[in-house]
Chain A
């Protein structure tokens, strides 16, 4: 059941961005509780480029990532991901698109507790239709690359926070989806582990993937190819 969605990065041409947001608004609530989280965001994210998304707490970073990956719907505006217009899709189609194009890394609780490390890494591969044996092989390779090969049969509870985060990155790179969205991936880690994670994400990016990291961590920002600063839902630096 390979999805109908094309997985060629930057389907529109070599210089086309993998992800393009144009005039995206996101409004939460109505009336008194109405809150504009994104206010006309226009920004591009390119392949093989590590973008740091920075801004104060509550500025809208997570919202931007969630909308970019189709976890949430934008209120208005257009989002184009590898040639597909997400803003025209329904939830089922968004899920299918995610399965072939987007990998997420969250701050913590990234893994499914009831699955082993190996099963966790295999999961997106199998979801995008890969045969089991091939998925296991690729997962093992990815775990090796992220430095947690000894733990394949363990359950997430039995790993340290840093190890869990590396497993999450292994999962993100195993499937080679063109867009990796990471929401404060180093937020719960000490600086050594944080560096390790950034290093890994850099490697991933070097493989031709567009990587977006929402972060407060200056070290991550320093390692980025490009910085997008966001304030009160507006892009104030690095926008298109």
Chain B
């Protein structure tokens, strides 16, 4: 037994180490998919916003958040102790709270007088409940009044280089205790002040606005949450548990399903490539198998020698693959993270996935080696000794090949469809399309070619005809290769289309905050016509609108913001109350179809309205000016009439108050997209008066340019006295879209490169398999040049057939999958063309280059 195993190891290992080129190629066909899979898995795992990360960013280490339902600025907002006192009766004893309130528009001045007006929060980051909200880069957050925490980008903007330096807010001085970063948006300018102290209270008073008070909360172990929650609601507080974070981490899903698709594709590739490669390896070992039998070696020695060989090669290949994949991930992840503007944290090697991949690759390889070796072992030793495989009844073998190919592809496609949760029908369709397609096309093409190859009028150069005949001399081998390479082409097509489509979908789903050629200026004081003119000419803008303001209604001495009534009102519960406080409207906004944020009505004169909404006809302009109609800035979710509503406060929560209903003008040149920063609906001053709406807040100006304006340029072009406290916003996309879109070329390039290498490996195997035939051709007088052309044409022909077949079926499969995923299809035609051309050139060059130069006959088989 041990003796046999030792023999198997010697034979298996020597086969790997003695034919190095072939071993290298086979290892490559195993290593490439494993490397690609490992790399993709590691980068995805690194980039993925995990549930714990998402929870930490939104909820710190707390159980959840409590929000005061009151939408207005509370008199007590800067006195957390007093607010907590009011909250106490509704809470179980031992509840731990950490106060938090959004602070909007606070001007922070650095030591050299550089200043920035930014949003931040009043929260004590030294409280353990807030652990994980931000990444602390320097220092440690302090609970002391008179300290402040800045994000590194904000610190940079105001000229702070290290902790311990001071900034001023109004007349107060604050020591910077820590520099932090928002992991998901490294460009985020923000600050955090520990609330409650006199200095913090004075600073908050100078902010433009404050959000609703809110607490991070951790319940005592025995708390009865439903009861507590009900009690809180009655008292005017909403509880959101940290499980809400699921919505945030859900963003990773699209990326995950792409990675999965890539993974399954790679698996299919591995199966087929390795099967094809081992068909070649076993064929090369026929003579040895026959000799072993003649010497009296039991069949199990022969079988286990080939299995051992497969094991050696698979181990080397998959280990190399893991190493390469990890290396690539380690190099690529930080670069990609930086380009995405996010902190992905340390590289997650996704070792479990890598090892599973490697194990699958090893198993697949060993299985792939067993199939042909078993088939060969069933033959007579004398047949094996003849070295050339017998020509079986071709039909039977073709059918067998077809059946095997169909089975493998069907399984993989089926798995993919199930895992990505495609609709049942499209899944079935996908399976049929993908599986039957390639096999059937290969069979049809081969039988067509077989019939035409010998006709002299076939309009092909002689060398192509010879190439075709040579291919058809080994029909089974040709078909297997076409199927294997066809699947490679199909998979890379699917990968290209899927990644392009996902990037496209994310771009579509992303609602930009502003048109990308516009800047929004919230000016500290109204600008005169001359100043607007100067602004326009010094920034080269095409247009600067007149100022507009937010609309509100006055109730009990408070100003309630006004919105158009749209389907965001899904978030109203059965008692007519809003389900969330206005700090937590995101879930509501995200669930609505129109995506109109709240509040979203502005008051503008006609000129301003036209700059924002588009040119109106004279009649429309007249109706707008007289206050008989409002104008829609964007058409999404709005009809020909709009109800203006305000969020009013009831003892137990928010309700919507109808203020007015107006006909709505849709200018023919209106914007097609909804922008968060722009109001959805505008009314004129006259319209505001008739609907009892008042303008509130600073005057806002929209600057339209031909290309994306630079924030700094616009700020510098403002009048000097207005620069200090004005804010300028320009469009900047969220990081995730940037990441996927920027990753696209990388994915495409990797896919092209992989295809190229696989084609190179396959063609090399194929050519090395035919070495003897080429030498023989040389011996009977064919020049080296002619032999090379023959080999090039043969490989080129093979690849053209494979690519055409594979690409078409890849497109079909992608359409099936993407329809199942409910995603629009984006076909990156350029990349597809690059893939096909690269593959054909690689094949032709490799085919020619590997033909043995000499015509000398070989001594050993």
A interface residues (Cβ-Cβ under 8 A, vs B): 1, 66, 69, 71-73, 91-92, 95-100, 102, 104, 106, 109-115, 119, 123-124, 126-129, 132, 155-157, 161, 164, 171
Do residues A99 and B299 form an inter-chain contact, with CB atoms below 8 A?
A: no
State in angstroms the CA–CA spacing of A92 and B295 once bound together.
13
Do residues B296 and A102 form an inter-chain contact, with CB atoms below 8 A?
A: yes
B291's contact among A92, A110, A155, A161, by CB below 8 Å, is which? A110
B382 contacts which chain A residues (CB < 8 A)? Answer: 66, 71-72
State in angstroms the CA–CA spacing of A155 and B299 once bound together.
24
Q: What is the distance, in angstroms, from A141's C-beta to the closest C-beta of chain B?
A: 19
B15 contacts which chain A residues (CB < 8 A)? Answer: 114
A109 contacts which chain B residues (CB < 8 A)? Answer: 287, 291, 387, 860-861
Sampled A-B contacts (26; CB under 8 Å): A66-B382, A69-B294, A72-B380, A72-B381, A72-B382, A92-B299, A95-B297, A95-B298, A96-B298, A98-B294, A98-B296, A99-B296, A104-B294, A104-B295, A109-B860, A110-B291, A112-B11, A113-B18, A114-B10, A114-B11, A115-B10, A123-B295, A124-B295, A127-B7, A127-B297, A157-B860
A112's contact among B1, B288, B298, B380, by CB below 8 Å, is which? B288
How many A-B residue pairs lie within 8 Å, measured between CB atoms?
87
A104 contacts which chain B residues (CB < 8 A)? Answer: 294-295
State in angstroms the CA–CA spacing of A109 and B288 once bound together.
9
Do residues B380 and A127 form an inter-chain contact, with CB atoms below 8 A?
A: no
B381's contact among A71, A123, A171, by CB below 8 Å, is which? A71
Instruction: Name the interface residues of B622-649: CB closer than 8 Å to any CB of A.
Output: none
State in angstroms the CA–CA spacing of A98 and B295 once bound together.
7
Q: Nearest chain-B residue to A177 (Cβ)?
A: B296
Do residues A99 and B297 form an inter-chain contact, with CB atoms below 8 A?
A: yes
Do residues A92 and B293 form an inter-chain contact, with CB atoms below 8 A?
A: no
- Flag whether B385 is at the interface (Cβ < 8 A): yes
State in angstroms the CA–CA spacing of A91 and B387 once bound together.
20
Do residues A91 and B299 form an inter-chain contact, with CB atoms below 8 A?
A: yes
Q: What is the distance, in angstroms, from B769's C-beta to the closest C-beta of chain A?
A: 16
Q: Nearest chain-A residue to B290 (Cβ)?
A: A71
- Flag whether B292 is at the interface (Cβ < 8 A): yes
- Flag whether B575 is at the interface (Cβ < 8 A): no
Q: Max chain A CB contacts within 10 Å: which of B294, B299, B381?
A: B294
Do residues A157 and B11 form an inter-chain contact, with CB atoms below 8 A?
A: no
A164 contacts which chain B residues (CB < 8 A)? Answer: 859
Q: What is the distance, in angstroms, from B290's C-beta to the closest C-beta of chain A?
A: 8
Do residues B296 and A124 form an inter-chain contact, with CB atoms below 8 A?
A: yes
State in angstroms the CA–CA spacing of A132 and B296 once bound together.
17
B293's contact among A71, A113, A156, A161, by CB below 8 Å, is which? A71
- Flag whether B339 is at the interface (Cβ < 8 A): no
State in angstroms the CA–CA spacing of A7 and B261 once bound together.
61
Do residues B859 and A161 form an inter-chain contact, with CB atoms below 8 A?
A: yes
A114-B14, A126-B7 known; A71 vs B380 contact (CB < 8 Å): yes
User: What would 8 more interface pairs be, CB under 8 Å, given A71-B293, A114-B11?
Assistant: A69-B294, A106-B385, A109-B860, A111-B291, A124-B296, A127-B7, A127-B295, A129-B3
Q: Nearest chain-B residue to A99 (Cβ)?
A: B296
A113 contacts which chain B residues (CB < 8 A)? Answer: 18, 288, 860-861
Do residues B294 and A156 form an inter-chain contact, with CB atoms below 8 A?
A: no
Instruction: Name the interface residues of B272-309: CB closer than 8 Å to any CB of A.
Output: 287-288, 291-299, 301
A1 contacts which chain B residues (CB < 8 A)? Answer: 1, 3
Q: Nearest chain-A residue to B383 (Cβ)?
A: A72
State in angstroms the CA–CA spacing of A172 and B387 once bound together.
22
A171 contacts which chain B residues (CB < 8 A)? Answer: 295
State in angstroms the CA–CA spacing of A43 and B121 once bound together.
105
Do residues B11 and A95 form an inter-chain contact, with CB atoms below 8 A?
A: no
Q: What is the distance, in angstroms, from A87's C-beta to the closest C-beta of chain B?
A: 15
Q: Which 9 A-B pairs have the closest CB atoms?
A: A99-B296, A114-B14, A98-B296, A71-B381, A104-B294, A114-B18, A109-B861, A124-B295, A66-B382
| B372-400 contact mask (Cβ, 8 Å, vs A): 1 or 0 | 00000000111001010000000000000
State in angstroms the CA–CA spacing of A112 and B385 once bound together.
12
Q: Nearest chain-A residue to B301 (Cβ)?
A: A127
Do residues A157 and B299 form an inter-chain contact, with CB atoms below 8 A?
A: no
A114 contacts which chain B residues (CB < 8 A)? Answer: 10-11, 14-15, 18, 288
A72 contacts which chain B residues (CB < 8 A)? Answer: 380-382
B296's contact among A73, A119, A128, by CB below 8 Å, is which? A128
Report whether over half of chain B's contact residues are helix, strand or loop; otherwise say mixed. Answer: helix
B297 contacts which chain A residues (CB < 8 A)? Answer: 95, 99, 123, 127
State in angstroms the CA–CA spacing of A73 and B301 once bound together.
21
Do residues A112 and B296 form an inter-chain contact, with CB atoms below 8 A?
A: no
A106-B385, A109-B287, A115-B10 known; A92 vs B298 contact (CB < 8 Å): yes
State in angstroms the CA–CA spacing of A113 and B18 once bound together.
9
A132 contacts which chain B residues (CB < 8 A)? Answer: 3
B298 contacts which chain A residues (CB < 8 A)? Answer: 92, 95-96, 99
Do residues A119 and B299 form an inter-chain contact, with CB atoms below 8 A?
A: no
Do residues A155 and B3 form an inter-chain contact, with CB atoms below 8 A?
A: no
B301 contacts which chain A residues (CB < 8 A)? Answer: 127
B10 contacts which chain A residues (CB < 8 A)? Answer: 114-115, 119
Do residues B292 and A100 form an inter-chain contact, with CB atoms below 8 A?
A: no
Q: What is the distance, in angstroms, from A66's C-beta to the closest C-beta of chain B?
A: 5
Q: Max chain A CB contacts within 10 Å: which of B18, B860, B861?
A: B860
State in angstroms the CA–CA spacing of A60 and B860 once bound together.
25
A113-B18, A114-B18, A115-B14 known; A71 vs B294 contact (CB < 8 Å): yes
Q: What is the distance, in angstroms, from A216's C-beta to the closest C-beta of chain B?
A: 19
A98 contacts which chain B residues (CB < 8 A)? Answer: 293-296
Q: Nearest chain-B residue to A132 (Cβ)?
A: B3
A126's contact among B3, B291, B861, by CB below 8 Å, is which? B3
Q: Nearest chain-A residue to B17 (Cβ)?
A: A114
State in angstroms the CA–CA spacing of A36 and B1 once bound together.
41
State in angstroms the CA–CA spacing of A107 and B499 once bound together.
59
B11 contacts which chain A residues (CB < 8 A)? Answer: 112, 114-115
B387 contacts which chain A residues (CB < 8 A)? Answer: 109
Q: What is the distance, in angstroms, from A173's C-beta to the closest C-beta of chain B?
A: 14
A72-B382, A112-B288, A126-B7 known; A95 vs B296 contact (CB < 8 Å): yes
State in angstroms the CA–CA spacing of A97 and B296 once bound together.
7
| B1-27 contact mask (Cβ, 8 Å, vs A): 1 or 0 | 101000100110011001000000000
Q: What is the distance, in angstroms, from A225's C-beta to the closest C-beta of chain B?
A: 25
Q: What is the distance, in angstroms, from A120's C-beta to the closest C-beta of chain B?
A: 9
Instruction: Name the interface residues of B340-386: CB closer than 8 Å to any CB of A.
Output: 380-382, 385
A66-B382, A109-B287, A113-B288 known; A127 vs B860 contact (CB < 8 Å): no
Do residues A95 and B288 form an inter-chain contact, with CB atoms below 8 A?
A: no
State in angstroms the CA–CA spacing of A164 and B298 once bound together.
24
Do residues B294 and A112 form an inter-chain contact, with CB atoms below 8 A?
A: no
State in angstroms the CA–CA spacing of A104 and B294 once bound together.
7
Q: Nearest chain-A residue to B12 (Cβ)?
A: A114
Q: What is the distance, in angstroms, from B322's C-beta to the closest C-beta of chain A?
A: 28
A99 contacts which chain B residues (CB < 8 A)? Answer: 295-298
State in angstroms the CA–CA spacing of A132 and B3 once bound together.
9
A71 contacts which chain B residues (CB < 8 A)? Answer: 293-294, 380-382, 385
Q: Nearest chain-A residue to B297 (Cβ)?
A: A127
Q: What is the distance, in angstroms, from B423's C-beta to the closest C-beta of chain A?
A: 52
A95 contacts which chain B residues (CB < 8 A)? Answer: 293, 296-299
Q: What is the distance, in angstroms, from B467's C-beta to the closest C-beta of chain A?
A: 29
Q: Nearest chain-B residue to A122 (Cβ)?
A: B7
A100 contacts which chain B residues (CB < 8 A)? Answer: 296
B294 contacts which chain A residues (CB < 8 A)? Answer: 69, 71, 98, 104, 106
Q: Max chain A CB contacts within 10 Å: which of B3, B292, B295, B298?
A: B295
Do residues B18 and A112 form an inter-chain contact, with CB atoms below 8 A?
A: no
A71-B380, A71-B382, A109-B287 known; A157 vs B295 contact (CB < 8 Å): no
Q: Nearest chain-A residue to B298 (Cβ)?
A: A95
| B848-861 contact mask (Cβ, 8 Å, vs A): 1 or 0 | 00000000000111
Q: What is the distance, in angstroms, from A44's C-beta to the closest C-beta of chain B?
A: 23
Q: Nearest chain-B residue to A100 (Cβ)?
A: B296
State in angstroms the CA–CA spacing of A129 and B1 once bound together.
10
Q: What is the distance, in angstroms, from A235's C-beta to the closest C-beta of chain B?
A: 21
Q: What is the distance, in angstroms, from A63's C-beta to the closest C-beta of chain B?
A: 9
